[in-house]
Structure 1
Amino acid sequence: MNDWQSRVDAVWADESLSPEAVIAHIDRLAAERPADDAIALFERAGARDSAGIEDEAEHLYRRALEIGLDDERRTRATIQLASTIRNLGKTRESLAMLEAEYEREPRGPLHDAAAAFYALALVSNGKPERAASVALQALAPHLPRYTRSVTGYAREIAEEPR
């Protein structure tokens, strides 16, 4: 598996490849694994997603999640699927998925990524104040100063009736 994943990672790292070439390389590597290998399906979905072929990516992400992924890939697949379906106009479903992921593990390694995509989904669903609040709360811990102030203001934005 490590050798296989290293070869997949090398495809993703090769910036000289066109989106079509990435798909072709990832598909060749995925063919080395069983047809229902969740990790291979996830990688195939990501290649299509990166190439802008969201409708194909959606099906592959859903299948990978259904079969089951390790925690990090599950989080990544959830974020990526939610972003994909937001682009396909399924904004309510995207929002629900991202809200659940955002709230699931507040201190997880991909929490800020979940927050970023959750904020985008909030904007797409007509909730820009809540989006700003989520984004600012994710940003606040990274500030060299004013963390407490920004966090307080971010919470205040979300609580103000509009």
Structure 2
Amino acid sequence: MTVDFDDWQHRADAVWQDGTLDDDARIAAIDALAAELGNEHPVALFERAGARDSAGRELEAEPLYRAALAAGLDPVRRTRAVIQLASTIRNLGKVDESLAMLRDEYEATRGREMADEAAAFYALALTSSGDAVRAASVALTALAPHLNSYTRSVTGYAAELLAKSGE
């Protein structure tokens, strides 16, 4: 059976947007959609991981995220999967691995789509690792281009935070 992927994605998005579904119903609906693509399809794996992650089932989500990444995702979904996996494993106490993944993603996405998202989660992981100064610098650097005024000043202060901390 050939699946119209645009239609499939529209239906998956509708599941995510349906506020009437509880966690178990959302997981069941995503799993049913994933089966249409094949349970080993990278996007199916990613969506199944996200449904479990959203339900607080991080231990179930982690291997699905890893399988989705190994199976190959388009660039935006790959970045989303890295962010979501890193956030999941941070919550599972694997802060160092999370931090390494997010640092790499932060560097890889700079100036590209998903850069701010990567920066936000990198800042969270830095905070979890006890590096609040670097976290503030990363967050301010990501925020600065969106300001109506003071972009240059905030960018400078973000760099200064690191310089004062010896980074």
TM-score above 0.5, yes or no: yes
* Correspondence for 2:108 among 104, 110, 116: 104
**Paired-residue identity, %:** 65
Aligned residue number for residue 44 of structure 2: 40
Aligned residue number for residue 99 of structure 2: 95
Aligned residue number for residue 60 of structure 1: 64
Q: Distance in 1 between matches of 2:165 and 2:7?
A: 54
Aligned residue number for residue 31 of structure 1: 35
The Cα RMSD (Å) is 0.9
State the AA in 2 paired with 1:62. Answer: R
Aligned residue number for residue 50 of structure 1: 54
Aligned residue number for residue 148 of structure 2: 144
* Partner SS for 1:145: coil
Which ranges of 4 or more aligned residues in structure 1 deviate by more than 6 Å?
none
Q: Distance in 1 between matches of 2:112 and 2:18?
A: 28
Runs of 5+ in structure 1 lacking a partner? none
Question: How high is the TM-score relative to the length of structure 1?
Answer: 0.97
Aligned residue number for residue 17 of structure 2: 13
Q: Distance in 2 between matches of 1:2 and 1:149?
A: 43
Runs of 5+ in structure 2 lacking a partner? none
Aligned residue number for residue 85 of structure 1: 89
Residue 20 of structure 1: how far off its partner (Å): 1.4
Q: Does 1:70 align with 2:74?
A: yes
Q: What pairs with 1:100-139 in structure 2 (closer than 5 Å)?
A: 100-139=104-143
Q: Distance in 1 between matches of 2:21 and 2:112?
A: 31
Question: How high is the TM-score relative to the length of structure 2?
Answer: 0.95
